[in-house]
């Protein structure tokens, strides 16, 4: 029986690592080496398109021929990613002669180093060796990953960590506060990003929008201060000032504040204003993008915002200001003359003047239209119509905000009966 491996985390930044082979194994192994900033030398007569993309981007150096022993001169580690045992044995011998650790994809018993099954989550890397059984390593790794994703507070740092990346430490204590602007996605709680979910579970204070999926808030840990931004009095403009004040005040007191916003924070979300307010007060801010309803709501109704040979553009526009208002920043007459997909957010109230303006400037009344209310939630409703009739159809169906209006040929491109 072979001895147990000795686990290590290698700091490979700038160090030469040779990968021999250009197929599927090398394609899978190279990204982690690049992530560790290794100086990767890839030795193989032919390589996969994914590896070629790394070469073209200048991320690694490709030696386009078969292995020669002096390829290992100056290397710290070699990964053998070929399955010819004779050739692999020659590489092992060359590595041993130079005292370089050698990972063997073809024969782990012949290797002097094993790569573990790995999962990464936030600042934590979990590496699992399965006692010689790679499948066991993968199932243990998967179990740990599930545990981390369902209990992200396990990742909280227990001590202040000067110099750690700004989105890894937990709030509270004597650490300086900070704010994360997190996109919560369009409505389905599963459509938040992994990073958004992790930061949410680390928050001391959560300032949430009306459109944020309620179930996400249901899972916050006990003791979190939840500020419901939609309940802040004073009316629209003062409300934003008040939200900015809460963010700055709590963060200045040392809290980790998550500002949770529907969809993406920067799509009609006033995320920029909140970032500026925090910056002006010297509060560090992280922004975590979200799945925006402008793309997800059409998708949830079976509508791709682009489709080959149908639409090569999509335009997202706010309809909250009527087209004839002096406050309007949208050139509706120009939009009427675009061929592609038009996605209108906050457009129900002004749908009639919007559609008549588009018609008046030449967009065909037969242009397919769809309105998706409360997309990706259990309450989702979809009304399909045409530009000429959609305003009446919305009234007849009694649709209410939040809803996304989609105009363009993509609306009828996919057959909804073929969708699950």
Residue 261 or 363 with smaller CB distance to ligand SAH: 261
- Interacting residue ranges for ligand SAH, rule: CB under 6 A: 186-187, 211, 261-264, 267-269, 292-294, 297, 345-346, 372-376, 401-404
Smallest separation, CB 403 to ligand SAH (Å): 5
CA-to-CA distance for 368 and 411, rounded, in angstroms?
A: 6
Q: Which of 397, 379, 381 is nearest to 389 (CA)?
A: 397
- Alpha-carbon distances, residue 218 vs 11, 172, 185 (angstroms): 40, 21, 16
Smallest separation, CB 183 to ligand SAH (Å): 7
Q: In whole angstroms, how large is the CA radius of gyration of the chain?
A: 27
Smallest separation, CB 273 to ligand SAH (Å): 13
Residue 22 or 187 with smaller CB distance to ligand SAH: 187
CA-to-CA distance for 242 and 236, rounded, in angstroms?
A: 10
Collapse the DSSP code of 89 into the 3-class scheme (helix H, G, I; strand E, B; otherwise coil) and give the result. Answer: helix
- Residue 227: phi, psi to the nearest 5? -105, 120
Residue 62 or 268 with smaller CB distance to ligand SAH: 268
CA-to-CA distance for 385 and 407, rounded, in angstroms?
A: 9
Residues forming the active site: 209, 231
Give CA angle at 11 (8, 13), nearest 5°.
155
Beta bridge partners of 207: 227, 259
Smallest separation, CB 321 to ligand SAH (Å): 13
Using CB positions, name the residue nearest to ligand SAH: 263
Residue 113 or 211 with smaller CB distance to ligand SAH: 211
Smallest separation, CB 108 to ligand SAH (Å): 47
Residue 173 or 416 with smaller CB distance to ligand SAH: 416
- Residue 225: phi, psi to the nearest 5? -85, 120
């Amino acid at each position: 029986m072979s001895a147990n491996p000795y686990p290590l985390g290698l700091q490979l930044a700038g160090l030469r690592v040779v990968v021999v082979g250009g197929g599927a194994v090398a394609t899978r192994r190279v990204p982690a080496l690049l992530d560790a900033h290794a100086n990767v030398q890839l030795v193989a007569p032919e390589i996969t398109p994914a590896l070629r993309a790394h070469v073209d981007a200048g991320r690694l150096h490709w030696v386009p021929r078969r292995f020669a022993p002096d390829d290992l001169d100056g290397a710290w580690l070699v990964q053998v990613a070929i399955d010819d045992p004779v050739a692999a044995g020659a590489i092992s011998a060359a590595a041993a002669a130079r005292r370089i650790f050698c990972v063997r994809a073809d024969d782990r018993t012949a290797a002097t180093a094993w790569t573990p099954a790995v999962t990464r989550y936030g600042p934590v890397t979990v590496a699992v060796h399965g006692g010689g059984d790679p499948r066991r390593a993968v199932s243990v790794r998967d179990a740990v990953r599930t545990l981390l994703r369902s209990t992200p507070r396990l990742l909280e740092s227990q001590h202040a960590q000067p110099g750690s990346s700004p989105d890894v430490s937990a709030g509270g204590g004597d650490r300086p506060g900070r704010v994360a602007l997190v996109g919560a996605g369009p409505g389905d709680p599963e459509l938040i990003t992994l990073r958004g979910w992790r930061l949410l579970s680390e928050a001391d204070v959560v300032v949430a929008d009306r459109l944020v999926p309620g179930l996400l808030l249901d899972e916050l840990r006990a003791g979190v201060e939840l500020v419901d931004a939609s309940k802040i009095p004073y009316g629209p403009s003062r409300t934003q000032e008040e939200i900015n004040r809460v963010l700055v005040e709590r963060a200045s007191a040392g809290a980790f504040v998550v500002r949770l916003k529907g969809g993406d924070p920067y799509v009609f979300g006033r995320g920029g204003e909140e970032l500026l307010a925090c910056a002006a007060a010297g509060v560090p801010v992280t922004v975590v993008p979200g799945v925006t309803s402008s793309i997800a709501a059409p998708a949830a109704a079976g509508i791709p915002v682009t489709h080959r040979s149908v639409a090569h553009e999509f335009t997202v526009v706010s309809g909250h200001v009527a087209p004839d208002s002096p406050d309007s920043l949208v050139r509706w007459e120009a939009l009427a003359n675009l061929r592609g997909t038009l996605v209108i957010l906050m457009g129900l109230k002004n749908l009639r003047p919007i559609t008549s303006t588009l018609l008046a400037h030449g967009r065909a009344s037969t242009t397919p239209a769809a309105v998706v209310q409360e997309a990706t939630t259990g309450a989702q409703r979809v009304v399909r119509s045409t530009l000429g009739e959609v305003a009446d159809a919305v009234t007849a169906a009694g649709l209410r905000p939040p809803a996304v209006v989609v105009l363009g040929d993509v609306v009828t491109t996919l057959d909804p009966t073929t969708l699950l």
